[in-house]
Structure 1
Amino acid sequence: MRGGGLLVAGTTSDAGKSVVTAGICRWLVRQGVKVAPFKAQNMSLNSFVTREGAEIGRAQAMQAQACRIEPTALMNPVLLKPGGEQSSQVVLLGKPVGEMSARGYHGGRRQRLLGTVLDCLAELRAGHDAVICEGAGSPAEINLRRTDIVNMGVARGARLPVLVVGDIDRGGVFASFFGTVALLSAEDQACVAGFLVNKFRGDVSLLEPGLDMLHGLTGRRAYGVLPFRTGLGIDEEDGMAVSLRGPVRESDLAPPLGEDVLRVAVCAVPLMSNFTDVDALAAEPGVVVRFVDRPAELADADLVIVPGTRATVRALEWLRERGLADALAARAAEGRPVLGICGGFQLLGERIDDNVESRRGRVEGLGLLPVRVRFAREKTLTRPTGEALGERVEGYEIHHGVAEVTGGDAFLDGCRTGSVWGTHWHGSLESDGFRRAFLREVAAAAGRRFVPAPDTSFAALRERQLDRLGDLIEQHADTDALWRLIESGAPQGLPFIPPGAPA
């Protein structure tokens, strides 16, 4: 097989497309297949920097890890980073090319990008046995079909079979499957090979009559029923918001090694970006992570994290409006730990000069770190390495703000003053030795008898999660039929379902 492919679409956003795509990738690579992921257009505030300095969605970086290959800009040629209700930063082939309103993007530029998207996909297919593509939202968003470059536009342009995933835990999955197909044109319907049920609880035999009826109505079969599993939502896309759930961890009951647990509160700032930074903390036994938006929720926290954001000045105002700014200042005065990452680091400083992101000019920061920030038009996209607390650290940087550090102690190209730390480095807490050293510092400052686990490997945890996704596909999908679909495309002669049928 060479250049085989499949597009994983969904009946809705958050139907499970990202994890199903990753699961298929991991299943294939375990069969010795050279496979790569692809998503033509991604809207997400969770992004990653490749080794060549390109910015792509974190979901595609996670899927590349599932394939056991390095992520590249080819895997996510268009990334949209929301900056508000009406506009997004457009990142093309890993580099920002400007801000654009939703109307402006859908009205013109989007369709012109289809050629770029198909060229990237063709290049990936030429170098791999298979490419597993992920759609966005639903292929039945008929108001956007004319300018679609991520769902049926890609499927038809690249002659890919489409597998539609539906989340049965939400209810209405049969209607969603049928309606998705019925709303498509005859040409689009010809690409839709069948369905994959996701997040099923209970006895599969009770579902089979409905799947048989769906087959009879649409002429399309189910390729599997995946059971409901917790802890699989790794590196999810976030759209415009983030659910206030804790990040994925192996066990919510993992006991601490010491006498105390360590409580981490993450300020849920507007347009939060790369909140996946805290996943590595949540993986530690005895560490409890939660997202918060009220001052009272900081009271019992041993560590408060101010995460990255696509809107630093807006987040600063939000902290002040909610009283969180005063709570952070009080913590710093008491010597209680605070960590700012990227935008969170910037707003902890003395001032921000921003004529790029918010265009608000000079704004006073929280003054907890001796840092002055100036926003540059060029975005910093790097993969730095260094040392902190006696341990080697790797990270990645994605920011317009340029920090001038005027005091304090050096800390990962940022600084530390007392119990307040700040850095532009995303992903630094995934470095196991550094994470443990940092948690020891936090525990000491908080007066907790907490002991980090000496053998927690975040990389190994992620590998186990990806293997769990591969297991789901191998054990609960018809892998022989999936293989034929990837290798040969959608079956010929699939029936057309007129909108409104059956009578």
Structure 2
Amino acid sequence: MKAIMIQGTSSDVGKSVLCTALCRIFANDGYRVAPFKSQNMALNSYITKSGGEIGRAQGVQAEAAKVDATTDMNPILLKPKGERVSEVILHGKHFANMDAMTYRENFVEEVMPEVRKSLKRLSENFDVLLLEGAGSPAEINLKARDIANMRMAHETDAAVILVADIERGGVFASIVGTLQLLDEAERSRVKGFVINKFRGMKELLDSGVEWLEQYTGIPVLGVVPYFDVQIEAEDSLALSSLRLKKPLHQEFAMDVVIIRFPRISNFTDMDPLFDEPGVGPRFVSTLKELKNPDVIILPGTKNTIEDFLWLQEIGLAQGILQLAQNGCRIVGICGGYQMLGQILRDEQAIEGRGGTYMSLGLLPIETTFIAEKQTVQVEGTTVTGHKIKGYEIHLGRTIATEEITPFVTLSDGRVDGIYTKRVVGTYVHGIFQNRTFTRHYFNELRQEKGLEAISDEVLSDDERREQAYEMLDAHVRQHVDMRKIYNLLESNV
């Protein structure tokens, strides 16, 4: 199997998006391509058809590659859940909660045989392996135990393309500095550079590119202009750029607040709100920011109890209750849904500190945390009659304490969530990605506010994603020398 690896001079330089683009390019050119990231740390995860949990980026890249995502594409997922402690997910399933020292000193070497098994299975089923690195390959304090960067390039005999973000400044220094901190064998694997997120006249960059190629002897394969493509992110670093899609100084007919929990997870649930006409989403983390919104959304969280206690400590819990009494609509998703209930019970200390806690009391439910994790793709029909699909990923088991109206009837016969006139709770992630439901929800709010409803004819999320992948294909083909990349595929390092 041919392999190429995308590494970066730092985190958030655009590795994931470039990998997504190349997955679509290779697929469109007739290759069967698999994305791969040996170890990923992210709170935005993706549920495979088999119920395995992997990093969101590898799930998106598999979609771009027109193949089903599998846990082999991201055999190790780390989900931070507390101070220096992460949940370790191995082949899509919970393995252990582990502190950073134990993970680095003991687990990393023990798990390498599992990583190799994943690589072997992928090599038997795909033509091309597109690897993504993590952070930077030149973190000298981490290199000895780094299994996400150059070690994977060596394992797969991959040519490495190093990506740098010019928007950060110091792009040439970051590239040269990264190379200097690599050993000779590692440097020999770097076969090209991509300068990403460029704004302005490329001609002004040409002299720098020429110098870089002469100094390093390595070609610049492309200078990619900044491109605001609607691809889901997996890192909370992306929240700042997400907020910029609709500037806060702009006036919107409907004010939607999203609580930015310290341990917020799967915040991609909120992406569609930035596309909905007249809706102004804004993330808040203080009582002062709350103000008087039309809708408050409590999103998912990696630790429901800790984030609920935070909600109480800073006064947001009381603020939400006051707004709910005044008629504000409330939506809770996963951990946010659990908080809307009456009791959070953690007798086995699954969430960390243990104990029983009185929660917001806006829905007649009680949640008990158990060790068994629910991870599954779902489909169903909402109480409003809309066909939806999404996924569940939670530890809690929730029961109603009185008769309720379920929000969703699932295709497997289960019911999920609660629907009331003002408060909705659900375990289904991706509910707003179901665009006809989202349009209906906000049309109800429009009519309440005396506004005219808008057409319920809207592109589905699948259609939007396909458009985004094809736009990425065209954009990267235009600005990256694909002929040279295909030459790297054909040559041995």
- The AA in structure 1 aligned to 2:67 is I
In structure 2, the partner of 1:183 is 181
Q: Is the 8 A contact 2:230 2:468 kept in 1?
A: no
The C-alpha deviation readout for 1:173-224, integer Å capped at 9, x for no partner, is 1111111111111111121112110011122222222222222222211111
1:243 to 239, 245, 249: 239
In structure 2, the partner of 1:386 is 380
1:126 to 104, 124, 127: 124
In structure 2, the partner of 1:65 is 63
C-alpha change, 1:233 and 1:86, in structure 2 (3 Å) is farther
The 5 A counterparts of 1:49-448 are 49-229=47-227, 231-232=228-229, 234-238=231-235, 243-246=239-242, 261-354=253-346, 355-388=349-382, 389-407=384-402, 408-412=404-408, 413-444=416-447, 448=451
| TM-score of the aligned structures, taking structure 1 as reference length | 0.91
In structure 2, the partner of 1:498 is none
The C-alpha deviation readout for 1:236-263, integer Å capped at 9, x for no partner, is 2216x663443686x889x99xxx7322
- The AA in structure 2 aligned to 1:61 is G
**Which structure 2 residue ranges, 5 or more long, are not aligned?**
409-415
- Tell which deviates more after alignment, 165-174 or 194-203: 194-203
Give me the whole-angstrom Cα distance separating, in 2, the residues matched to 1:376 and 1:248: 38
SS of equivalent residue, structure 2 residue 119: helix
SS of equivalent residue, structure 1 residue 7: strand
2:466 to 463, 467, 477: 463
Give me the whole-angstrom Cα distance separating, in 1, the residues matched to 2:491 and 2:123: 14
SS of equivalent residue, structure 2 residue 388: strand
Q: Is the 8 A contact 2:440 2:456 kept in 1?
A: no
The C-alpha deviation readout for 1:139-159, integer Å capped at 9, x for no partner, is 001222121211001001111
Structure 1 position 440, deviation (Å): 2.8
Q: Is the 8 A contact 1:224 1:477 kept in 2?
A: yes
Structure 1 position 35, deviation (Å): 1.3
In structure 2, the partner of 1:500 is none
Give me the whole-angstrom Cα distance separating, in 2, the residues matched to 1:24 and 1:148: 24
Q: Is the 8 A contact 2:160 2:190 kept in 1?
A: yes
Structure 1 position 165, deviation (Å): 0.2
Q: Is the 8 A contact 1:245 1:290 kept in 2?
A: no
Q: Is the 8 A contact 2:54 2:74 kept in 1?
A: yes
Q: Is the 8 A contact 1:383 1:396 kept in 2?
A: yes
Q: Is the 8 A contact 1:271 1:309 kept in 2?
A: yes
**Which structure 1 residue ranges, 5 or more long, are not aligned?**
491-503
Q: Which has the higher contact order (CA 8 A, sep 6+)?
A: 1
Structure 1 position 448, deviation (Å): 4.7
The C-alpha deviation readout for 1:445-497, integer Å capped at 9, x for no partner, is 5555453552232222222222222122200001100111123244xxxxxxx
Give me the whole-angstrom Cα distance separating, in 2, the residues matched to 1:464 and 1:404: 40
The C-alpha deviation readout for 1:383-406, integer Å capped at 9, x for no partner, is 121111111111101110111122
SS of equivalent residue, structure 2 residue 131: strand
Give me the whole-angstrom Cα distance separating, in 1, the residues matched to 2:247 and 2:120: 43
Q: Is the 8 A contact 2:436 2:458 kept in 1?
A: no
- The AA in structure 1 aligned to 2:144 is R
C-alpha change, 1:447 and 1:117, in structure 2 (3 Å) is farther
Structure 1 position 34, deviation (Å): 1.4
Give me the whole-angstrom Cα distance separating, in 2, the residues matched to 1:289 and 1:193: 42
- RMSD of equivalent CA atoms: 2.1
Q: Is the 8 A contact 1:26 1:466 kept in 2?
A: yes
C-alpha change, 1:216 and 1:174, in structure 2 (3 Å) is same
In structure 1, the partner of 2:411 is none
Give me the whole-angstrom Cα distance separating, in 2, the residues matched to 1:322 and 1:125: 51
Structure 1 position 432, deviation (Å): 2.5
Give me the whole-angstrom Cα distance separating, in 2, the residues matched to 1:97 and 1:445: 48
SS of equivalent residue, structure 1 residue 270: coil
Structure 1 position 294, deviation (Å): 2.7
Give me the whole-angstrom Cα distance separating, in 1, the residues matched to 2:165 and 2:301: 29
Q: Is the 8 A contact 2:52 2:375 kept in 1?
A: yes
Give me the whole-angstrom Cα distance separating, in 2, the residues matched to 1:350 and 1:481: 60
Q: Is the 8 A contact 1:118 1:158 kept in 2?
A: no
The C-alpha deviation readout for 1:314-367, integer Å capped at 9, x for no partner, is 111121122211121122222221000000000111011112012321111111
- The AA in structure 1 aligned to 2:232 is D
Give me the whole-angstrom Cα distance separating, in 2, the residues matched to 1:309 and 1:290: 17
SS of equivalent residue, structure 2 residue 397: strand
- The AA in structure 2 aligned to 1:58 is R
Give me the whole-angstrom Cα distance separating, in 2, the residues matched to 1:233 and 1:138: 25
| TM-score of the aligned structures, taking structure 2 as reference length | 0.93
Structure 1 position 425, deviation (Å): 0.6
- The AA in structure 1 aligned to 2:394 is H
Q: Is the 8 A contact 1:409 1:416 kept in 2?
A: yes
SS of equivalent residue, structure 1 residue 410: coil
Give me the whole-angstrom Cα distance separating, in 2, the residues matched to 1:50 and 1:465: 21
C-alpha change, 1:158 and 1:358, in structure 2 (3 Å) is same
SS of equivalent residue, structure 1 residue 83: strand
- The AA in structure 1 aligned to 2:285 is D
Q: Is the 8 A contact 1:234 1:248 kept in 2?
A: no
SS of equivalent residue, structure 2 residue 387: strand
- The AA in structure 2 aligned to 1:359 is R
Structure 1 position 300, deviation (Å): 3.7
Structure 1 position 63, deviation (Å): 0.8
Q: Is the 8 A contact 1:262 1:287 kept in 2?
A: yes
